[in-house]
Structure 1
Amino acid sequence: MTQENEHKDVPKELLVPLERKEDTSEKISGPPRSFMQDARRTFFKNKFAVISMILLVIVILLSIIGPYFNEHKMDGQDLSRAKMPPRVPVLENISWLGLNGTLTSEFDGDTVEEATKNAVMRYDNKEDFIDIKVLAEGDGSKDSAEVEATYHIYEAQEMMDQYYWLGTDTLGRDQWTRMWLGTRVSLIIASVAALIDLVIGVAYGGISGYYGGRIDSFMQRIIEILIGIPNLVVILLMIIVLQPGIVSIIIALTMTGWIGMARIVRGEILKLKNEEFVLAARTLGQSGGNTIRKHLLPNVAGIIIINTMFTIPNAIFFEAFLSFIGLGIVPPEASLGALINSGFDVFRLYPYMVFYPAILISVIMIAFNLIGDGLRDAFDPKMHK
């Protein structure tokens, strides 16, 4: 029996025509994503960067509205309430948080009585408000006695109805209010530094890299001269002419802070200015300014944004350092560096004056750096998946 006869014997209902199916192995399942959509997707997959961004938003909001959270005046000075420790409603009942409004220190002496006497003298001789805990009983010869004294200063000052969330400074000013006012000043200086980078640095680097030749050589010699002048020398010159404060710091940043951005942008422009799209723009008769603005800068926007995010914490640290050594913001004005400087002199007795502003400035700088890392990965095409 031939093969043709075999097919004739098969019932027709079993013969089903073969349907040609389209190969879907390489079919695009959704609309294509742009580079910015991929960058945004990569950034939001970075949990540390997202958490840092949320923390920064909270810090910025508190720097605006935080000073109005309590009833204490922003610039009120009262020596009768100086050096009050932190005390927060509800949280004062949790002893290990250290927010119960007490001062605790350890005192030594040849005997327990002498160590106790030292504690009482240290806390204004208000023995009725001091709790003594004996840590070591000395024998008066080799080993000294040691006691732990807890001073209930709010009761001693008859201020049980008052709450200073982060305590007060040596002049009786509310630390919570001053810390957020100082954060506001530090963020303003950082924002000005970023704006200077974007305006002066990007324009200078773009023009130098695009035109090249003698223009580039002349502009780079200017940068080499400016980069050889230390920032501290510029600050000292500003202090001679102006008073220490925001203006002198901003002028110092204006003179030298944009150099790093200018050099980075120049290097990127040098790599891109001979690409086909730039040559096409020139052929169509576009001016140099339009070519830089419309074609070159959008292609280096990623590195500009990343460098700006790293410039901000550097500016904050620069201001804090200057204020700490007395060349920046000076009292009664507040900044994070000035607060740390004012509390450093009494750090051993009142560590909270340094502790809270130091934590805040650390959080701000770490957050900006983590966001910068996230943006760097987001604008790197190799990281897109």
Structure 2
Amino acid sequence: MDQKNVNNLPKELFKPLVRKEDTSEKISRPSRTFGQNARRTLFKNIPAMISLVVLILIIIMSIIGPFMNKYGSNDQNLDHAKMPPRVPGLEKVSWLGFDGTLSDELTGATVEQATQKAYMRFNNEEDYIDIKVISDGDGSPNSAEIKATYHIYKAKGLEDTYYWLGTDQLGRDQWTRLWEGTRVSLIIAFVAALLDLVIGVAYGGISGYYGGRVDNVMQRIIEILSGIPSLVVILLMMLILKPGMTSIIIALVITGWTGMARIVRGEVLKLKSQEFVLAAKTLGTSDGKIIRKHLIPNISGIIIVNTMFTIPSAVFFEAFLSFIGLGIAPPKASLGSLIDIGFDNMQIYPYMLVFPAALLSIIMIAFNILGDGLRDAFDPKMHK
């Protein structure tokens, strides 16, 4: 459009821009606090939010799960030992694995030989074993192959009985024990993480704030504690205390807080020379109040993130101890003790291992993904 056409435009199309003092520097979008930005970034992180929902559901199930059926965690019934999972409504769908049957593939020189192995494998209950021929064989060893399916609930006259996740070697309900074991593992992890948080933050804050000789002595103590293997501490706790939750928590706390203390100390060393700390000192604020009110809130993001990574480490450590027989003592259950029992029966009854191992993996992965999400949320560079 040339200058002539512009001059011919009606003046009604134009309005003068009025500049005002209170609107000339108006912010185009509402200001947000650091906490609001962190929450907004976290909510936009879909994997972290999915992990948070999964963890909340697991925590809820660890509370109400044992009360969802009529079986107690220590109710033994040897007649119902090693029963496979059976769920109402899902028993008709065999490929899901909740139909209450035991299956195995066996080989032999002939189909008849493989079938005899199947009968011996499933207590000679011929009337309740379905045989499916996979390979007829040519007479050579292990050339014939069959798949045997044993309807154990019918064989024991338990058509109206349902064990949602099966039973263990003593006939105890796996569903009830799984959620009670999850509750025990989570309690140990949360209590240990909380104590690590309190001790580590206090110790690291004091060490970093005062510095000098105080910091030097306190750091040497941390180096000594860090050099003691955790298993040695556990063995000492077993000699002093009975095996159980208390001894595991104490062993986790004795050396677990050192990592938190070092992180807090490093951050406090960076912040204690800032202007707001010098201003607080000038106004006569006590050292304890400066640490509590000024320093710790400014490093809260790092503390929260580190705590979120401490919890799965504690869960795994408890599971490892129970797996090797140094953790929760029978008849109490934890994820580690359930995995230990399942490992002993893995080849014949794999469901006893699959469910606790899968739940432990889900808890570990969910906490780590949530920890990554919190780390991004508390990183100012990630805020948009």
Query: What residue is the counterpart of 2:168 in the other structure?
Result: 169
Distance change (3 Å), C-alpha of 1:14 and 1:130: closer
Aligned partners of 1:223 and 1:16: how far apart in 2?
76
How far did 1:242 drift?
Answer: 2.0
More deviation, 301-310/19-28: 19-28
Q: String of CA shifts for 1:210-254, please: whole Å, max 9, x gaps.
A: 000110000001000000000001111111222221111111012
Separation in 2 of the partners of 1:118 and 1:228?
55
Q: Give, in whole Å, the separation in 2 of the partners of 1:362 and 1:142.
A: 40
Tell me the CA shift for residue 312 of structure 1.
0.2
2:294 is the counterpart of 1:295: yes
Gapped runs of 5+ residues in structure 2?
1-9
Question: What SS does the aligned partner of 1:92 have?
Answer: coil
How far has the Cα of 1:18 moved from its partner?
Answer: 5.7
Q: Shift of the alpha carbon at 1:138?
A: 2.5
- How many Å separate the matches in 2 of 1:96 and 1:33? 52
> Unpaired runs of 5+ in structure 1?
1-12
- 2:5 equivalent in structure 1: none
CA distance in 1 between counterparts of 2:172 and 2:314 reads 27
Q: Deviations over 1:27-80 (max 9, x none)?
A: 324431111000000000000000100001100000000001111122100110
Amino acid at match of 1:170: Q
Question: Does residue 357 of structure 1 match 2:346?
Answer: no
In structure 2, relative to structure 1, the CA distance for the partners of 1:86 and 1:26 (3 Å cut) is farther
Match of 1:127 in 2: 126
Corresponding residue for residue 251 of structure 2: 252
Match of residue 336 from structure 1: 335
Determine the structure 2 residue equivalent to 1:116: 115
Q: 1:25 to 1:361 in 2, by over 3 A?
A: farther
Q: Which runs of 4+ in 1 moved over 4 A?
A: 13-18, 23-26
TM-score by length of 2: 0.94
Q: Is 1:49 aligned with 2:43?
A: no
Aligned counterpart, 2:98: 99
The superposition leaves residues 242-270 of structure 1 with CA deviations (integer Å, 9 ceiling, x where unpaired) of: 22211111110121110100000000000
Matching residue's letter, 1:140: G
Taking the TM superposition and a 5 Å limit, the aligned residue runs for 1:140-219 are 140-219=139-218
Percent of aligned pairs with the same amino acid = 68
Match of 1:6 in 2: none
- Who is 1:64 aligned against? 63
User: May I ask how many residue pairs the two structures share in their alignment?
Assistant: 374
RMSD (CA atoms): 1.8
Find the residue that maps to 2:299 and give its secondary structure: helix
Structure 1's 121 and 16: CA in aligned 2 closer, same or farther, altered over 3 A?
closer
Shift of 1:142: 5.0
Q: How does 1:223-372 map to 2 (within 5 A)?
A: 223-372=222-371
- Equivalent residue of 2:105, what SS? strand
Superposition TM-score, scaled by structure 1 size: 0.94
Between the aligned partners of 1:283 and 1:205, the Cα distance in structure 2 is 23
- Could you list the per-position Cα deviations for residues 284-314 of structure 1 after superposition, in whole angstroms to 9, with x for gaps in the alignment? 1111100000000000000000000000000
In structure 2, distance between residues paired with 1:146 and 1:265: 63
Distance 2:366 2:89 in 1: 29
Is the 1:196–1:257 contact (alpha carbons within 8 Å) kept by the matching residues of 2? no
Task: Tell me the distance in 2 between the aligned counterparts of 1:15 and 1:382.
Answer: 47
Equivalent residue, structure 2, for 1:9: none
Distance 2:243 2:356 in 1: 21
Query: Which deviations, in whole Å up to 9, do the C-alpha atoms of 1:356-376 show, x marking residues without a partner?
Result: 111111111111111111110
Aligned to 2:18: 21
Counterpart amino acid of residue 46 in structure 2: K
Separation in 2, partners of 1:30, 1:111 = 79
Task: From the CA coordinates, give the structure whose radius of gyration is larger.
Answer: 1
- Structure 2 vs 1, CA of residues 138 and 29 (structure 1 numbering), >3 Å: closer, same or farther? same
- On the 8 A contact 1:186/1:335 being kept in 2, the answer is yes
Structure 1: which amino acid aligns with 2:349?
Y
Name the SS of the counterpart of 1:258 in structure 2: helix
Which secondary structure does the structure 2 equivalent of 1:133 belong to? strand
Please state how far the C-alpha of 1:26 moved relative to its aligned partner.
Answer: 6.1
Bigger drift between 237-246 and 177-186 goes to: 237-246
Measured in 2, the distance between the counterparts of 1:350 and 1:79 equals 16
